[in-house]
Amino acid sequence: MTHIHIKNLHVAYGSHTVIEGLDLEIPDGGIVAILGPSGCGKTTLLKSLNRLLDLHEDVTVRGSVLIDGEDIYAPGSDLLALRKKVGFVAQRPFPLPMSIHDNVAFGARLHELPTVADRAATSGTVERHLRRAGLWEEVKHRLDAPAKGLSIGQQQRLSLARALAVEPEVILADEPTSALDPLSVRIVEAQFRALRQDYTVLLVTHILRQARRLADYVIFLYDGHLVEHGPAETFFNAPVDPRTQAYLHGEIS
Ligand SMILES: Nc1ncnc2c1ncn2[C@@H]1O[C@H](COP(=O)(O)OP(=O)(O)OP(=O)(O)O)[C@@H](O)[C@H]1O
Ligand SMILES: [Mg+2]
């Protein structure tokens, strides 16, 4: 299992500091929910863990994020290896303009387009990842159809399959069910639950009930600070900080 250790992390957009001196060791394996009011820095924290923040202009990151002991922000650190190890599932699905099959094969080839000759080699892999994402039964007869034709719930599972196809060790998921209908939410949650055996899943959610259903461990952020973190049972049943208590009582959202 991959070990993540965040040390004195500061993140600022321009002159606006949004994460201030965050120290945290993330438990290996299982589902770690990241909770907190809107704007508190959940997405920023998630993106700091595979350097997706690099894509923003004018962002400053200080401190370190050690993944298996190596600082991902150290000069010369291997970005491609990092992105392979730490996958990202976004809030909204973004199918690539290609077939269902090729969307997943694209992940497996790590961002290279599959060729026709690859098809025999990739189809077993594609099936395996579509199964893991809970989508196989619905698409097995139309693998060559454009991915854009899938429902949003199916597209979100396709995004998950594509992320899994890279064979990451850690999955970062930013409110992965927020665009979905209740049935799709249940299906996607079931897949995350199944993944918790083999992966560390960091799940940002603003749905408390979802965190209660899924989380093994909870991180609570407030205004860029880590206020409280611990095993889900302790966090929900015996929160210590008044801000956590207020959040859990629905007094701040
Ligand atoms: N690209 C950006 N440029 C400037 N400011 C940003 C940028 N992205 C986020 N911010 C600001 O940083 C703060 C933290 O944002 P972030 O998206 O991490 O919060 P969040 O907890 O994910 O919120 P939400 O629950 O609404 O998704 C907010 O004040 C936000 O406005
Ligand atoms: Mg967010």
Q: What is the pLDDT of residue 123?
A: 80
* Ligand minimally distant from the alpha carbon of residue 60: 1
Residue nearest (by alpha carbon) to ligand 1 atom 27: 38
Among the listed residues 50, 61, 75, the one whose alpha carbon sits nearest the alpha carbon of residue 169: 50
How far is ligand 2, taken at its centre, from the CA of residue 177, in Å?
13
Q: What is the pLDDT of residue 194?
A: 92
How far is ligand 1, taken at its centre, from the CA of residue 45, in Å?
10
Confidence at 116, pLDDT banded by 50, 70, 90? low
H/E element holding 236?
helix 232-237
For the chain, give the percent of residues with pLDDT over 90: 80
Residue nearest (by alpha carbon) to ligand 1 atom 1: 56
Query: 4-248 has which fold?
Result: Rossmann fold (3.40.50)
Ligand 1 atom nearest the C-alpha of 16 is 5
- The pair phi, psi for residue 206, each rounded to 5°, is -110, 10
Residue-wise pLDDT tens digits, 193-230: 999 999 999 999 999 999 999 999 999 999 999 999 99
Amino acid present at 82: L
Taking the chain, what is the end-to-end CA distance rounded to the nearest angstrom? 33
Residue-wise pLDDT tens digits, 134-171: 999 999 999 999 999 999 999 999 999 999 998 899 99
